[in-house]
Amino acid sequence: MEPLSVLTPEMRQEAEALRREWAENPRWKGVKRDYRPEDVVRLRPSVMVEHTLAKRGAEKLWRLLHERPYVHTFGAYTGAMAVQMVRAGLEAIYLSGWQVAADANLAWQTYPDQSLYPYNSVPQIVKRINNALMRADMIERSEGKVSRDWYVPIVADAEAGFGGALNVFELTKAMIEAGAAGIHYEDQLASEKKCGHLGGKVLVPTAQHIRTLQAARLAADVMGVPTVIIARTDAEAATLITSDIDERDRPFIVPGERTPEGFYRFRNGIEAGIARALAYAPYADVLWMETSKPDLEEARKFAEAVKREFPDKLLAYNLSPSFNWKKFLDDETIAKFNRELGEMGYKFQFITLAGWHTLNYYIWELAKGYKARGMPAFVELQQKEFLAQAQGFTAVKHQREVGAGYFDEVVLALTQGEASTLALKGSTEEAQFTEEPAH
């Protein structure tokens, strides 16, 4: 480490301000950093770039997690999905790496959730979603009737980091540049990463994942954004670990057993998940233990163990479509599941893959009906859209929804009202969708 004397007076002043911020701002209560303000300052550029959407989103997410009984949402992977979710009233967007792997990655491939896609795919979808939300906002402003705050926080999946601490540092920066409010990292080996509900999961040592969390926090500090860092552990179901070097992991390692790849056998379960969550807690804002089934008693046991040592630590829960919900729970329990989780401290709750399941089922349903009955199948869908307008649905006017009217306003501004080439004027949408059709 070079001596601090290499800092300029201005850099010293910046470091001192950062030290006070960490010590005095309630946002950083209970957050541990194994690096100094001077390190952050030395890693920053001379001209700080403002990352408005990421900063605003992180601040809003943090506020919602403390003001609401819980924040619940589901996974989107297109801008249109996100716009409809916000229009329907959801206050956050979850961006699942599984969904990106399956249908929205920059390799243009269909992949299982095994970190096979290019590492910058999720940041690009974060940007795409933010652009779509911004367009919805701009359309409403141009119409003089802004109905809501369109810029909801996006919580993005950074997988196992696609490599070591330096990869995590760069990926976190890319997420922030794209406008992510929260980011989660899991404690699997990046080169063997699996969906939390697949087999063959390999954990890294506890200390290695702490380094991952610190790399993410350092990147956020360097960028000047209070990103919400979520630590996920897969210890409840993982069966392998790379090393026995960390003494905190040794109680869960099967002695004398190695796999052909050299991994150690790991005794999984909730106790292993709790041990890891407690180790991660000082370095994360939110803790998430991936589970094998929806179980309120298991959730309560985990929450109580964390809250005993870290009473203010927030929790997250994956309401996964990988679970056969009605196989495990009755209707009454399903109906109260969100509320009871919220009371335990699970403030962020999300259905990871709901966007993918919704798109597949409803496209399949329409295609099957259209194949069998022709146009009546689509007209039935259109009638449902018309009826939904009374509840705030607007996408029946698809030209308006994507901004045709907004860009007419651009033309009108440029021509000061003298244009004869406006897109919506004289359109079929204007003629046929101005009023709700009779039923």
Give the Cα separation of 89 and 306 in Å (integer): 31
| Active-site residue, selected from the candidate residues 122, 195, 216, 228 | 195
What is the rounded (10 degree) CA torsion for 381, 386, 390, 395? Answer: 80
322 is a catalytic site residue: no
Q: Report residue 271: phi and psi, to 5°.
A: -65, -40
For residue 171, give the nearest of 186, 180, 158, 184 by alpha carbon.
158
Across the beta sheet with 93-95, what order do the strands follow? 71-74, 346-351, 314-318, 286-289, 228-233, 182-186, 154-157, 93-95
Which are the catalytic amino acids? 195
